[in-house]
A and B are shown apart, each in its own frame.
Chain A
Amino acid sequence: MTAVLEVRNISKRFGGITAVDGVSFEVQEGEILGLIGPNGCGKSTLFNCILGQLTPSGGEVKVDGKLVTGLRASELNRLGVSRTFQLLQVFPKLSVRENLILAGQEHQGSMLSRLFGPSDAGLTEAADRMIGFFKLGHLAGEAAGGLSYGQQKLLDAAMAFMGGPRLVLLDEPAGGVNLTMLADLKERLAAINREKRATFVVIEHNMEFVMSLCSRVMVMAEGRVLAMGCPAEVRANPAVIEAYLGH
C-alpha cells in the first residue's frame, strides 16, 4: 500500500548550518505520527520543507506516491495536505464562520465560479458543521480576533480540516492551551482521525498529548532521526532520554 507521506533523505542547509540532515520516514493512511525532539532539532524546518514553505537542499517528498518536493504551499494544499501553525494564524478581522469559509473556498470550483458564484462559495453549511464539530457554535459570528487563545487554536485546527485533507501536519497544536480545551482538542483530533481516516503528523512538546494520541513517535535531534517506534518503546529508549537530558 502506498504510504500517504513518504520523505526520503530530506536535508536543508542555511549557509553553513545544516538544520535538517537526511531525514527519511513514511506515514501510512490513518496513522497519527508524533514528531518530538529538543528545541532546535529541526522539526519545524522539516515541516516547512515538506509543506513547501522552504525548498529543501536535497531529498524528495511524495504524497500518495506523487512527487511533490518543492511545490508551493498552495499547490500542496490543493493536493490534500494542510497544516496548522505554531504561531497562531487565524484572520482576526473575519468571523469564525468566515475564517472557515475562507479555508474551504479554494478546494472547490474554479477562479471563475469563485468570482461569479455565491458570496459564501456555498460553504456556510459545511462551515457550520465544522463549527459544531469543534464545539465553537456560540462563537460562529464573532470576529476571530476576539476569541480566547485556546478557542483560536481550535479554530486553527478546524480551518486545516475544511478542505477535507488527506494529510494534516500540526505544529504544536497543544501549545498554550489550557487543560480542558486540550482534552477537547485531543478528543476532536482522534474523532476526525477515526471518522475520516485522516492522517496526521504532529509536532509537540507536550509529552502526555503525544503519547496518548499518537500511534507512532519519531524523535529528532540535531537535524537527524534519533528513534522511531511506538510511544512506549521511544519513551524507554536511552538515546532519547539522553538527547533530552543532555540539553
Chain B
Amino acid sequence: MTGTMRYLQIALGVVVIAGLVLVPMNFNRYGLFILSQWAVMTIAAMGLNLTLGYAGQVSLAQGAFVGIGAYAAAIMTTQGAPLIAALVVAIILCFAVGWLLGYPALRVQHHYLAFVTLAFSTLAFLVFRNEEWLTKGIYGISNIPRPHVFGFATNRPLPFYYLCLGSLGLVSLAMWWLIRSPWGRAFLALRENPIRALSLGIDTRRYTLMAFAIGSALGGVAGTLYAPLTQYIDPVPFNLSLSLDLLMMVIVGGAGFFFGPFLGAMIAVLLPEWLRFTQGYYLMLYAIAVILLLIYSPTGILGILDRYLSERRTKTASALRAVAPSRLETAP
C-alpha cells in the first residue's frame, strides 16, 4: 500500500513541476507577475513556517525581513553590484538580526518573541522611511535591474519567473534537507513535547533560536527577489500588514506541513483576484474565513487533509484486522 502511495506522490510531484515550468509559457505579463510573486512569497512563508510550524514561535517581523532583503538588493544592484552579492548580505544581515532579537526574547516563557518582533517590525519601517540617505525614504528606489543568470538576461517576465521558480526549488531542497536532518527531528521534539526534549539533552532554546534566525534569513532571501520583481520599492509594502499576511499564509496552508506555505501563498496571492467582485470586503471575508478555518482545524488546510488521510488509514487498518481472523477460520 505504501509503495503505491509513494509512486503516486512522486508522479504527482513530477506533474506539478512540469506544470509549473511549461504552462506559464502561455501566460501574459500579468499572469507571470502573479506567479513570480507566489514563488517569492512562498520562500518567505517557508521561513516563517520554520519558525512557527516547526519551532512553535510567532514572528511578526517576517515582512520586515523581506524588506531588509529587498532594500539590500535594491541599494546594491542600483549601485552596480550583482544580485548574488546582495543575497549574501541579506542572508547574513537577517540571520544576525534574527539571532539578536531572538536571544533575549526566547529566554522567557511568555511568547515574548511575538511582541519583540512586533516592535521590530515598526522599528524597521521607521528606518526604511526615515533614513533617506540610504533608502531614499518615501521616494523609494526605482529602476532596480534584473540580474543576469549564467549569462541569460532575466529582463523579460518569463525568464525572471524561471529565476524565481528555480530559487524556490533550491530553497525547498535546502528546507527538505534541514527537516530530514537531526535538526528537523529536534524541531519536532521541541514542538511536540519540550519537557521531554529537554530531558533528552535537546537544547530547546538554541534550536528554537536557530529556527527563528534561519526563518528570518529566508525572509531576506525572498526580499532580494522581490526587489527585481517589482523593480521599484518603497517602505509601504514592508509594514506589519505583510508580516500578518505571511502569517496567514502559513496558518491557512497548514503550519508545520512542508507544502503548507506553497498552498497558503497560492491562496493569498490569488484571492484578491478571485474576490475582486467583493471590492473592499475581501480582506474582511478572508480574515473571517481564517478564523473559521482555525476553529475547525488549527493546522490549516493540509491539516484537514492529513486528518482525513490518517482516519482513512486507521479505518483500513481496523477493517483489515476485522477481516483477518475470519480468513484464518475458513482455512482448512
Contacts and interface: CB of A to CB of B under 8 A. Distances in A.
Q: A and B: direct contact (Cβ < 8 Å)?
A: yes
Interface of A: 51-53, 72-74, 77-78, 82-83, 85, 89-91, 93-94, 98, 101-103, 105-107, 111, 114-117, 119-121, 159, 163
A64 B204 CA distance: 25
B276 to A, nearest CB: 41
A86 B68 CA distance: 48
B178 interface: yes
B202 interface: yes
Contact of A102 (B180, B186, B195, B204): B186
Given A89-B196, A93-B188, A101-B182, 11 more contacts: A53-B198, A78-B201, A82-B200, A90-B196, A94-B185, A102-B186, A102-B189, A105-B185, A106-B202, A115-B181, A120-B182
A74 B186 CA distance: 12
Nearest to A123: B182
B192 interface: yes
A115 B198 contact: no
B193 interface: yes
A123 B201 CA distance: 15
Q: Which 6 residue pairs across A and B have the least CB separation, nearest first?
A: A77-B201, A106-B201, A114-B182, A89-B196, A73-B198, A105-B182
A98 B185 contact: yes
A107 B188 CA distance: 18
Given A91-B188, A105-B182, A114-B183, A83 B201 contact: no
B181 A119 contact: yes
Contacts of B210: 111
Interface of B: 178, 180-183, 185-186, 188-189, 192-193, 195-204, 206, 210
Contacts of B181: 114-117, 119
Contacts of A78: 201
B196 A101 contact: no
Given A105-B185, A119-B180, A53 B200 contact: no
B182 A77 contact: no
Nearest to B178: A115
A111 B206 contact: yes
Nearest to A105: B182
A74 B188 contact: no
B175 to A, nearest CB: 13
Given A89-B193, A111-B206, A82 B188 contact: no
B275 to A, nearest CB: 36
Name B's interface SS. helix
A91 B201 contact: no
B192 A163 contact: no
Contact of B200 (A98, A116, A120, A159): A159
6 contacts: A51-B199, A53-B199, A85-B199, A93-B192, A106-B201, A119-B182
Nearest to A116: B181
Contacts of A77: 198-201
Contacts of A51: 199
Contacts of A120: 182
B311 to A, nearest CB: 14
Contacts of A52: 198
A77 B203 CA distance: 10
Contacts of B201: 74, 77-78, 82, 106-107, 163
Nearest to B200: A103
B185 A102 contact: yes
A106 B201 CA distance: 6
A52 B203 CA distance: 13
Contacts of A103: 200
A102 B210 CA distance: 18
